[in-house]
Amino acid sequence: MTSITSISVISKLIATPAADVSQVAQLPGMHWASFIMWMPLISLALCGICSAFKVKTKAPAIITIICLATSFILTLLLWQGYQDPEIIHVFDWLKIDWEDGSFIANFAFYVDSLTLLWMLFVTGLGTLIAVYASEYMEHDVGKGYTRFFAGVSVFLFAMTCLVMGDNLLMLYLGWEGVGFASYWLIGYFYQRPSAVAAAKKAFIVNRIGDVGLALAIYLIWSTFGTVQYDEITSALGSGYKPTFDGWTVQAIPYLLMLAAFGKSAQLPLYVWLPDAMEGPTPVSALIHAATMVTAGVYLIIRTYPLFMLEGSHALEVVAWVGGLTAFFAATMAMAQYDIKRIMAYSTVSQLGYMFLGLGVITSYGAAYHVFTHAFFKAVLFLTCGAIMHGFAGQLDLRKLSGLRKMKGWKIVSYTMLIGCLCLAGFPFTSGYFSKDVILAEAFVTHGTGFVFLGWLAIFTAGLTAYYTFRVWFRVCAGPVHFEPGDELHGKEPANFHPHAPRIAINFVLVAIALGALLAALPYFIPNETEGIQGGWVAEMIDDSPAKKGVPGVDLDSSHGDILGMDPHKAMYYISAIVGFVGIGIAFFIHLLSRSTADKLRCKLLSNRTTRWLPTAMENKWYVDEIYIALIRSPLWILGKIFSLFDRYFIDGALVNGIAFIPSLVARWFSPLYNGAVQSYAISMIGGAILIALLMLFMPEIVEFLQTLSPPIGSDQSIAVVGGAQ
């Protein structure tokens, strides 16, 4: 076990560097690929300059779009030239050596196919959403506009750092960075108390997960002696010394899981995500739907080997948490009226699917679902944003109807339809394929209750189809009818005219909707790599830890079945049927006879035995209230006690007391500093004589001290004074 006896900055000059380059190819320092990361930073700097010069134009948006687009093009180039996993070394960041160990975290990028997959949609969607936001945020041109794009730049920088870093420390840096950017952007409307509260909630809930990540990194380093991905993998392969009877190694996946659940809004830490919708909609689309919230999935895929250790139940826990989150979030989404909140709960639910996929060992399925979900959820959020933008903040689905028949809202309606189809898992859309991989694998893999989870997930898929089309049928179909929201800026509600989105928003909607449709193609594009099925995506992630669960790779394991059929094939039919049922119910009660839904609700409410169901669902199963009662209130009381303790004991008695002592001492000495040369001279000479006498009679003094306290030996009393020997 490495122990830090003395961390000396200088000692690194004497110790030899312990960097052991493994088989992964290392690329030289100033590689052009590092500009994928620097471009958002440059954009941030330029936005800062814009802010300093109080720019009142759309310049920050243009700067950000250009920088992010450059990032995206560079990512494309990197992907085009990609052969094998490689490490791009940018610069030495942290390197501490001592006798029997080292801590090395270079500023380097680990580029494998998983990184590229993530980077492609992060930078690509980032660019498109920046274009969207350039129109969406235009009411705030001036200071707020710059602040917004600066925040987006920070986010993209942190996200690239998180995804591209070659070690856990860089991931941690990015992890905290995206958390900060998320806080920054949720609290964008900082004059609104609810936005500030939501920003704080997101940040604080994420802290809980971050503690897990910090502990996990520490345990990984203390167990394997490194935080670099490739070295961890090779250490796992070549054997390592289990510490503390091996429980630390077993604890690592649970801690990583905690971090992932916090960032990706899973039970029990999901509560921040619905509130995070207080931020501007492009932020919800980019950060809280497409990219940042998938960081948890990325983290687990990256560290997948640690979850697959002998005798570990970590993946089963992931599966259960994911499956239950998917289900509960879907039920909550069913009973909401705010369409943006519905999308938020649907995001939580879909993230639950991804974790279910990870848990049932199809990281391929999870990665593919992340990929497709990024597109269709982005388009859904962006259409919600366009509606909110056009109807003065109106998001209540009861107060909007028949959008597709209104002039200028066709693109919004039909892109939203595409998004809804994908989310509902309509056959041959991207969501259909990616979800099926996960659902089928739940029946293939053996684990505690996986079959139950599989059925639960299928049922949830039906719920998903229902609540998704509840939104679409209510808002976009039916007779034309609308009420404006409360952001009228002084206009009379009677004179209100919705303003339809213009070119930038429409262009982005169409582009991302096309992306959502085309995301189904990679499933079919034949690949050149031998031995794997599953198309482009499978090939894409072939050399990364996300390879697990690619159809055709792990076929040697005994295969489960579903109703006597091969799960992969059966799932095509089952999920299509479930999807149709869900859409059909939504069609019936939200389009054909809209009063049915209300009648059903009234009936359920009037019946004593079923009253709890709609109430609980509408109140989000009272989870927020439970958290307040169980966690927030006790903490608040504790905090109050601490605050009083701090004020009266720490500040009052300790701090002021301690500060009082030195000043008392200083006052005591101050007569010495009376400014007279003579007294200074006497003090100096007196001091010199005292020191000389002290030194001369030191043996006697030591002897005297020994007689005072016999137990303390002479060695010790000298050692206290000068321990150099």
The residues that touch another protein, with contacts defined as CB under 8 A, are: 6-11, 13, 659, 662-663, 665-667, 669-670, 672-673, 675, 677, 680-681, 683-688, 690-692, 694-696, 698, 718, 720-725
CB of 99 to another protein, least distance (A): 12
Q: In this structure, are residues 417 and 476 in contact, taking their beta carbons and an 8 Å threshold?
A: yes
**Nearer of residues 13 and 494 to another protein, judged by Cβ:** 13
Q: Which is nearer to another protein, 106 or 250 (CB)?
A: 106
Structure tokens at 251: 């604890």
Question: Closest separation between CB of residue 388 and another protein, Å?
Answer: 40
CA distance 237 to 435: 32
* Residue 99 or 487 with smaller CB distance to another protein: 99
The DSSP-derived string for 317-356 is: HHHHHHHHHHHHHHHHHHT--BHHHHHHHHHHHHHHHHHH
Cα–Cα distance measured from residue 315 to residue 302, given in angstroms and rounded to the nearest whole number: 14
CB-nearer residue toward another protein: 30 or 77: 30
Q: At what angle do helices 247-263 and 193-224 cross, to 10 degrees?
A: 160
Specify the residue, 10 or 708, whose C-beta has the smaller distance to another protein: 10
Q: Which is nearer to another protein, 19 or 672 (CB)?
A: 672
Taking 3-state DSSP, the helix, strand and coil percentages for the chain, each rounded to the nearest 5, stand at 70, 5, 25
Distance of closest approach, residue 89 Cβ to another protein, in angstroms? 18
- Give the C-alpha separation, 484 to 496, whole Å: 7
Cβ 156 to another protein shortest distance, Å: 24
Contact 200, 270 (CB under 8 A): no
CB of 712 to another protein, least distance (A): 14
Q: Cβ of residue 154: shortest distance to another protein, in angstroms?
A: 19
Beta partners for 97? 102
Burial class of 708 by CB neighbour count within 10 A (0 to 12, 13 to 18, 19+)? exposed
Nearest by Cα to 136 from 546, 509, 649:
509
CB of 52 to another protein, least distance (A): 12
CB of 203 vs another protein, minimal distance in Å: 23
Nearer to another protein, 4 or 630 (CB): 4
| Cβ at position 29, least distance to another protein in Å | 16
Taking the complex as a whole, the smallest distance from the CB of residue 672 to another protein amounts, in Å, to 7
Query: In angstroms, rounded to a whole number, what is the distance separating the alpha carbons of residues 389 and 263?
Result: 28
Amino acid identity at 624: D
> Helix, strand or coil for residue 481?
strand
* Smallest separation (angstroms) from another protein to the CB of 671: 12
Of 206, 203, 233, 220, residue with least CA distance to 114: 233
Which CB, 641 or 684, lies closer to another protein?
A: 684
- The residues, ordered by sequence, that sit 6+ positions from 28 with a Cβ below 8 Å of its Cβ are 89
Sign of the C-alpha dihedral computed for residues 547, 551, 557 and 560 taken in this order = positive
Nearer to another protein (CB atom), residue 9 or residue 708: 9
The residue among 98 and 371 lying less far from another protein, judged by its C-beta, is 98
Which amino acid, 677? Answer: V
Backbone angles phi, psi at 259, to 5 degrees: -60, -45
Contact 154, 198 (CB under 8 A): no
CA distance 163 to 158: 9
Nearest distance from C-beta of residue 658 to another protein, angstroms: 9
Distance in angstroms (rounded) separating the CA atoms of residues 225 and 222: 5
Determine contact, residues 504/372, Cβ cutoff 8 Å: no
**What is the smallest separation between the CB atom of 9 and another protein, expressed in angstroms?**
5
Please say which residue, 448 or 663, places its beta carbon nearer to another protein.
663
Nearer to another protein, 641 or 661 (CB): 661
User: In whole angstroms, how close is the CB of 2 to another protein at the nearest point?
Assistant: 17
- Closest CB 678 distance from another protein, rounded Å: 9
Consecutive H or E run containing 454: helix 450-475
Q: Give the Cα separation of 358 and 241 in Å (integer).
A: 27
Q: Which is nearer to another protein, 92 or 618 (CB)?
A: 92
Q: For residues 132, 138, 144 and 146, what is the CA-based torsion angle, rounded to 10 degrees?
A: 60
User: For the stretch 650-680, what's the b/e string if a residue is b when 16 or more beta carbons lie within 10 angstroms of its beta carbon?
Assistant: eeeeeeeeeeeeeeeeeeeeeeeeeeeeeee
**In the complex, minimum distance from the CB of residue 95 to another protein, in angstroms, rounded to a whole number:** 10
Q: Please say which residue, 81 or 699, places its beta carbon nearer to another protein.
A: 699
CA distance 159 to 36: 11
Nearer to another protein, 619 or 714 (CB): 714
Full strand arrangement of the beta sheet holding 86-98: 25-27, 86-98, 101-111
| DSSP codes joined into one string, 664-690 | HHHHHHGGG-SS-HHHHHHHHHHHHHH
Q: What are the angstrom distances between the C-alpha of 173 and each of 108, 120, 141, 185, 544?
A: 13, 20, 31, 18, 22
- Minimum CB distance to another protein smaller for 311 or for 722: 722
Q: Which tokens go with 286? A: 């980019």
Distance CA 350, CA 340 (A): 15
